[in-house]
Amino acid sequence: MANYNTIRGLRVKYLSADPAGAENGQVWYNSTTGSLRVDGILRAAAWSSAANAITAMHAGQGFGGQSDAVGAGGYGPALSPQYSNKTDEYNGTSWSEGGNIGSARYTGQGCGSQTAGLIAGGNPVSNAEAFLGAEEYNGTSWSEQNDLSSGHGYGWMAGVQTAALCYTGLTDPSPATTSVNAELYNGTSWTEVGNVNTANYGILGFGATQDTAVKVGGTPANAGVEEYNGTAWTAVNSIPANRADGMGSGAQTSGLITAGNPGAYTSTLTYDGTNWTVSAATLATGRAGTARGATISNNATGIVHHAGPGAPNMLLTEEYNGPATIVKTVSVS
């Protein structure tokens, strides 16, 4: 093993603290800690199991990330009634019960954070027609807001509580009627904007802002992808295979999708704004019908929760951490 005394001065910096913004492959000696340090140890992307949720429900509304996820409403065969008004909150370690939503629903859309969340659309308890209602969450309780202009179920929502975009999905579940409609929310009211090019339901999606939404796959079966620029939707590179009813998160230039049908996918795809890449990381349990919605700024992290099929799967939580380089201490003699 190398002795520091023999390599000091040979392109190894002698520093009193780790440098800010170290470059991949950079090596230095930290004189304060007395350790040789190297940047560039690769951590592979991986999904890992986390604490079980409280309420066995799926196809509900969701938002937030690994430290502030929310699952609100959904369908649970063991629940009474089966269409839930329950809210589960996650703090990065464990789940707890939050305030009940005002109107039980499933297949709606969600965005925001645990203390500033928004849900809209979905199917009501009666399952008679697509739900128009919207509710905001403050971390404790829900409050009703102005209705959507038209029904949205099994669609998606991008953005934050006071600046959201709800797009496509079902306007009526029976018979199944899909919509190309997209609507902007300004914290008070909804306004119709440019339609998506292809109407689908059961889509996946993501988008950190209301002007940078992404629409992926859906039913009828397809692998198409569209991006929104604040005015219009444009078709971009497709995903490798048809996918519906899965999870999406991230931003338009740094997105992530996983789970979904057909066949309860375990695979994960990442998006850089142009191309899709199949990740080496796979879910431990294939699932579909995830809580619909997430607000995470990039594809470095993700979370899947409240997903079927089957009641046991509805409680499972898995967290995603993307590949990264880390600083490592190297022993020297």
CATH number where 314 lies? 2.120.10.80
| pLDDT: which is higher, 221 or 36 | 221
Residues 121 and 181 in one domain: yes
Structural domain includes residue 191? yes
Q: Answer yes or no: are the C-beta atoms of 24 and 39 closer than 8 Å.
A: yes
Residues 138 and 154 in one domain: yes
CA 249 to chain centre: 3
**Cα–Cα nearest to 157, from 194, 199, 105, 108:** 108
In angstroms, the CA 270 to CA 224 distance is: 15
pLDDT in tens, 111-135: 999 999 999 999 875 554 557 999 9
Q: Whole-model pTM?
A: 0.86
Structural domain includes residue 328? no
Structural domain includes residue 332? no
State phi, psi for 6 to the nearest 5 degrees.
-90, -15
pLDDT in tens, 253-291: 999 999 999 989 999 999 999 999 999 999 999 999 988
**Cα–Cα nearest to 207, from 141, 260, 159:** 159
Token representation of residue 217: 């796959």
Q: Answer yes or no: are the C-beta atoms of 56 and 311 closer than 8 Å.
A: yes
CA 279 to chain centre: 16
Residues 30 and 136 in one domain: no
Q: Give whole-number Cα distances, 272 to 36, 64, 196, in Å.
A: 34, 21, 21
Residues 39 and 55 in one domain: no
Angle, CA of 110, 113 and 115, to the nearest 5°: 120
Structural domain includes residue 329? no
Residues 187 and 208 in one domain: yes
- What is the count of structural domains for the chain? 2
Residues 9 and 94 in one domain: no
Containing structural domain, residue 21:
4-43
Structural domain includes residue 202? yes
pLDDT in tens, 150-170: 989 999 999 999 999 999 999
In angstroms, the CA 55 to CA 291 distance is: 12
HEC secondary structure over 193-214: ECCCCCCCECCEEECCCCCCCE
| pLDDT: which is higher, 152 or 13 | 152
Q: Answer yes or no: are the C-beta atoms of 55 and 86 closer than 8 Å.
A: yes
User: 132's torsion region: left (phi>0), alpha (psi -120 to 50) or beta?
Assistant: alpha
Residue 110 CB partners (closer than 8 Å, separation 6+) = 61, 62, 63, 70, 72, 117, 118, 119, 120, 157, 291, 292, 293
Output the pLDDT for position 10.
55
Structural domain includes residue 327? no
Residue 126 CB partners (closer than 8 Å, separation 6+) = none
Residues 305 and 221 in one domain: yes
pLDDT in tens, 201-227: 999 999 999 999 999 999 999 999 999
Place of tokens 């992808």: 225
pLDDT level of residue 2 (50, 70, 90 thresholds): very low
Residues 20 and 74 in one domain: no
Q: Answer yes or no: are the C-beta atoms of 178 and 184 closer than 8 Å.
A: no
Residues 50 and 101 in one domain: yes
**Cα–Cα nearest to 214, from 224, 206, 223:** 206
Output the pLDDT for position 110.
96
Residues 121 and 170 in one domain: yes
Residues 25 and 83 in one domain: no
Place of tokens 């937030």: 64
Q: Answer yes or no: are the C-beta atoms of 64 and 53 closer than 8 Å.
A: no
Peptide bond into 220 cis (omega under 30): yes
Q: Mean pLDDT of all residues in the chain?
A: 89
> How many CB atoms lie under 10 A from the CB of residue 78?
10
In three-state secondary structure terms, 312 is: helix
Structural domain includes residue 213? yes
Residues 18 and 117 in one domain: no
